[in-house]
């Protein structure tokens, strides 16, 4: 059974720091991995989608990497800003067709000014 | 381009009642999935609909049901509400559906409180 773990559960950094959020999964047979952002009481905003054949994706100050063999993904945020404060969730799509996304519990990030 | 729209955003019900939540996907998207989010369990998959057919279902009791209409709009229903059904219910749409594991786009959610 696929399990997704995100460490740390919470992270506080001062503005301007570069930071890395971690996501690990137990079964390396995945279709893709997606990173989301969730603000308090809101829905999820898709940040980056990495297909299983890809190693990384970049969007602005965000860079996500994927190492299927080790069951790991990282989300790198450069030059963090207070507006980046949110919960970041990673989710994997298992390799079996028709199965649902499996989410980690998320990392809650707080960036202070 | 409008995003995923969920209604109502907030609702309060009492135990034993039933509730219907609605989701309008992004125009052109044919797949709609539903997830339940609670502090304890996190995000859990409920079911997915594609072209009006339920293609996949999560591990939830039969009290949870859904359907999809010809315009791709979807509804989910929870009957005989229990306190533990209090949660944020999120709808997500995608172009090709979970079977092709495309990118998912989520709505703002419907927050259900059961008293």
Cβ contact B9:B108 at 8 Å: yes
Distance from CA of A113 to the nearest CA of B (A): 27
Any chain A CB within 8 A of the CB of B4?
A: yes
Spatial distance between the Cα atoms of A68 and B69, rounded to a whole number of angstroms: 37
Q: Residue A57: pLDDT above 80?
A: yes
- Rg of chain B in Å (alpha carbons): 13
Q: What is the mean pLDDT of chain A?
A: 93
B111 touches chain A (CB under 8 A): yes
| Range among A6-10, A28-32, B100-104 with highest mean pLDDT value | A6-10
* Tens digit of each residue's pLDDT (9 = 90 or more) over A7-29: 999 999 999 999 999 999 999 98
Q: Which pLDDT tens digit goes with each residue over B25-75?
A: 999 888 899 999 999 899 999 999 988 999 889 999 999 999 999 999 999
For chain A positions 36-65, those within 8 Å of chain B (CB to CB) are 36, 41-46, 49
Average pLDDT of chain B, as a whole number: 92
- Within 13 Å, how many C-alpha atoms sit on residue B38's CB side? 14
Scanning A1-40 for CB atoms below 8 A from B yields 31-32, 34, 36
Q: Which pLDDT band holds residue A1 (cuts at 50, 70, 90)?
A: confident
Cα distance from A26 to chain B (closest Cα, Å)? 17
Is residue B103 scored above 90 in pLDDT? Answer: no
Contact of B80 with B63, CB cutoff 8 Å: yes
- Please name the residue of chain A whose CA is at the shortest distance from the CA of residue B58: A100
Q: pLDDT at position A41, please?
A: 85
Per DSSP bridges, beta strands B87-94 and A107-112 are unpaired
Per-residue pLDDT, averaged over A80-109, amounts to 89
**Alpha carbon distance A101, A3 (integer Å):** 11
Please give the pLDDT value at position B99.
57
Give the pLDDT of residue A97.
Answer: 53
- In the three-class reduction of DSSP (H, G, I as helix; E, B as strand; rest coil), residue B65 is classed as strand
Looking at residue B87, what DSSP letter applies? E
Which of these ranges, A30-34, A57-61, A109-113, B102-106, has the smallest mean pLDDT? B102-106
Disruptive mutation site among A90, A100, A101 for chain B (greatest number of B CBs within 10 Å): A100
What would the two tokens of residue A48 be? 């980056």
Task: Determine the Cα–Cα distance for residues B22 and B44; give it in Å rounded to an integer.
Answer: 18
C-beta atoms of B108 and A46 within 8 A: no
Rounded to an integer, the average pLDDT of A75-86 is: 97
């Amino acid at each position: 059974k696929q399990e997704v773990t995100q460490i740390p559960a919470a992270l506080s950094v001062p503005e301007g720091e570069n930071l890395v959020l971690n996501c690990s999964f137990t079964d390396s047979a995945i279709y893709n991995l997606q990173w989301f952002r969730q603000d308090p009481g809101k829905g999820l905003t898709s940040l980056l989608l990495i297909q299983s054949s890809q190693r990384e994706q970049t969007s602005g100050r965000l860079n996500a990497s994927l190492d299927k063999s080790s069951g790991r993904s990282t989300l790198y945020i450069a030059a963090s800003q207070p507006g980046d404060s949110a919960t970041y969730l990673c989710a994997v799509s298992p390799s079996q067709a028709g199965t649902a996304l499996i989410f980690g519990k998320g990392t809650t990030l707080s960036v202070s000014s | 381009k409008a995003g995923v729209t969920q209604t109502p955003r907030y609702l309060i019900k009492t135990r034993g009642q039933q509730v219907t939540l609605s989701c309008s996907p992004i125009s052109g998207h044919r797949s709609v999935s539903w997830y339940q989010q609670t502090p304890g369990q996190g995000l859990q998959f409920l079911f997915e609909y594609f072209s009006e057919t339920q293609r996949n279902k999560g591990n939830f009791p039969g009290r949870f049901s859904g359907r999809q209409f010809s315009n791709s709009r979807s509804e989910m229903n929870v009957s005989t509400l229990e306190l533990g059904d209090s949660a944020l219910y999120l709808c997500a749409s995608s172009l090709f559906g979970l079977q092709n594991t495309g990118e998912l786009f989520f709505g703002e959610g419907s927050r259900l409180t059961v008293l």
